[in-house]
Amino acid sequence: MASFELSEEYQDLSNTVREFADEVVAPVSAKHDEEHSFPYEIVKQMGEMGLFGLPFPEEFGGMGGDLFALALALEQLGRVDQSVAITLEAGVSLGAMPIYRFGTQAQKEQWLPPLASGQALAGFGLTEPEAGSDAGGTKTRARLVDGEWVINGTKEFITNSGTDISTLVTVTAVTGLTDREDGSTKKEISTILVPTSTPGFKAEKAYNKVGWNASDTHPLTLKDVHVPEENLLGEQGRGYANFLTVLDEGRIAIAALGTGAAQACVDLSVKYAKERHAFGTMIGKYQGIQFKIARMQARAHTARLAYYDAGARMLAGKPFKTQAAIAKMVAGEAAMDNARDATQVFGGYGFINESTVARHYRDSKILEIGEGTTEVQLMLIARELGL
């Protein structure tokens, strides 16, 4: 990894997923996008390929790989369909990974095998109308009553929470208050496993989004939801802190997805610039187009190096929080900037929803928002600099 050249095993995985993305995912992407329909058939095949189990041990139904392998798969899927890529990313990083990192042996044995096989999906219920990056705004409450957690609250923008195969949402909730030295109180936030079949749990109507139209995203309502006391995930009061750890890893995955989207815009623009003629020659002969595409390639290349570096540090057991934040920010901006420039290269054809660059234009904006906004990444980077 020091030279950023992939090992044979990693390269084989990348090639396999690239072939799957081009031959299986791409042909149906426009249809699912237009219909806002969830790609169950694609998810099933990704599960059979072992993609949902890539970073988990075989004892829990996984493939025994690592999170960098997942990132490589996400880059290739992100080229052709960001909705499919985020379904995999959220299913693993937000759905299954918290259970693997912080769950009891019993919780892992119960929940991980179906999640690792892609037969089931899980979501992470963090964001609320007044809380997301600001954990202090969390209003969802969970009280321990007669051996059960009783949960009341609402969540917003929760991925993979309302499909036919969604079986679980891990919910952050205030489980107590602690006194501070200055006389104020601090919210004790814990994470609790809530099966979607639990009475009182409801996935509300799906959002009508700008992009990621084939990804499942819902607001959630929890009204007197009762789950067993043993559904507490990790130590009580450590829920938000544990989730921040998971987010650091997830940012590498999101960066890989963004890199794939950025690279796709380059590849599509190069192909179009060689085919499209104007004023007697192909438009790729004009320096204005050449420079635009060259800058797009530089962005994609930089994004890839950034997530490779963060991934290498993660695998080596070194600190990688700042590198993950940089990678997430750089890749998200590369995807958005490249989508805008690709649309310009394509002209009117780039403004037609059926075109792949138009889909990337709509899809890529969320990469600067979801799983930590660009501003949050800048805060993390500045904090590391001692500012």
CA distance 51 to 41: 14
At 47 the three-state DSSP class reads: helix
339, 211: one domain: no
Residue 3 has pLDDT above 70, yes or no: no
Q: Are residues 114 and 127 in the same domain?
A: no
Give which of 147, 151, 85, 112 is closest to 363, Cα–Cα: 85
Q: How confident is the model at residue 285 (pLDDT cuts 50, 70, 90)?
A: very high
Distance, in Å, from the CA atom of 36 to the CA atom of 51, rounded to the nearest integer, reads 23
pLDDT, position 135:
72
Angle between helices 67-80 and 82-89 in degrees, nearest 10:
160
Q: The CATH number of the domain where 55 resides is what?
A: 1.10.540.10
On whether residue 85 sits in a domain, the answer given is yes
248 and 380 share one domain? yes
User: What is the predicted pLDDT for the residue at 274?
Assistant: 97
Residue 138 lies in a domain: yes
- Residue 84 sits in the same domain as residue 170: no
Q: What is the pLDDT of residue 223?
A: 98
- Tens digits of per-residue pLDDT, 82-112? 999 999 999 999 999 999 999 999 999 999 9
Mean pLDDT across the stretch 333-355?
Answer: 96
In terms of residues, how long is the chain?
A: 387
| pLDDT (tens digit per residue) in 137-154 | 899 999 999 999 999 999
The per-residue pLDDT for 59 is 96
Separation CA 172–CA 307 (nearest Å): 28
Two structure tokens written together for 246: 């998971």
* Residue with more model confidence, 177 or 211: 211
204 is catalytic: no
Residue 146 shares a structural domain with residue 277: no
Q: To the nearest whole percent, how much of the chain has pLDDT over 90?
A: 90
Average pLDDT, integer, range 345-370: 95
CA 303 to chain centre: 16
Q: State how many domains the chain has.
A: 3
User: Do 66 and 186 sit in the same domain of this protein?
Assistant: no
Domain stops at, among 202, 237, 272: 237
Helix (H, G, I), strand (E, B) or coil at 200: coil
Has residue 2 been placed in a domain? Answer: no
* Nearest alpha-carbon partner for 205 in 224, 227, 220: 220
Q: Are residues 157 and 99 in the same domain?
A: no
Strand residues in the chain grouped as ranges (E): 121-125, 141-145, 148-159, 166-179, 185-195, 201-203, 217-228, 232-233, 277-278, 281-282
Domain boundary among 206, 237, 268: 237
**Within a 10 A sphere around the Cβ of 51, how many other Cβ atoms?**
26
Name which of 123-132, 153-162, 260-269 the model is least confident about.
123-132
Tell me the mean pLDDT in the region 197-214. 97
Q: Which pLDDT belongs to residue 241? A: 87
Residue 1 lies in a domain: no
* Options 230, 235, 371, 375, the catalytic residue: 371
Look up the CATH number of the domain holding residue 304. 1.20.140.10
Domain boundary among 179, 206, 237: 237
pLDDT digit string, tens, across residues 168-205: 999 999 999 887 777 778 889 999 999 999 999 999 99
The CATH number of the domain holding residue 190 is 2.40.110.10
Instruction: Give the pLDDT confidence of 41-60 residue by residue, as tens digits.
Output: 999 999 999 999 999 999 99
Q: State the pLDDT at residue 1.
A: 44
Specify if 3 maps to a domain.
Answer: no
Reported confidence tier of residue 379, pLDDT bands at 50, 70, 90: very high
Give percent of the chain with pLDDT exceeding 70. 99
What is the spatial distance between Cα 32 and Cα 247, in angstroms, rounded to a whole number?
Answer: 28
Strand partners, 202: 221
Q: Are residues 108 and 127 in the same domain?
A: no
* Same domain? 219 vs 157: yes
Domain extent, residue 202, equals: 122-237
Domain assignment present for 157: yes
Residue 366 domain-assigned?
yes
- Residue 167: inside a domain, yes or no? yes
Is there a single domain that holds both residue 108 and residue 135? no
Do 215 and 248 lie in a common domain? no
Do both 185 and 224 map to the same domain? yes
CA distance 209 to 363: 9
Looking at residue 181, its pLDDT comes to: 74
Whether 371 contacts 328, CB under 8 Å: yes
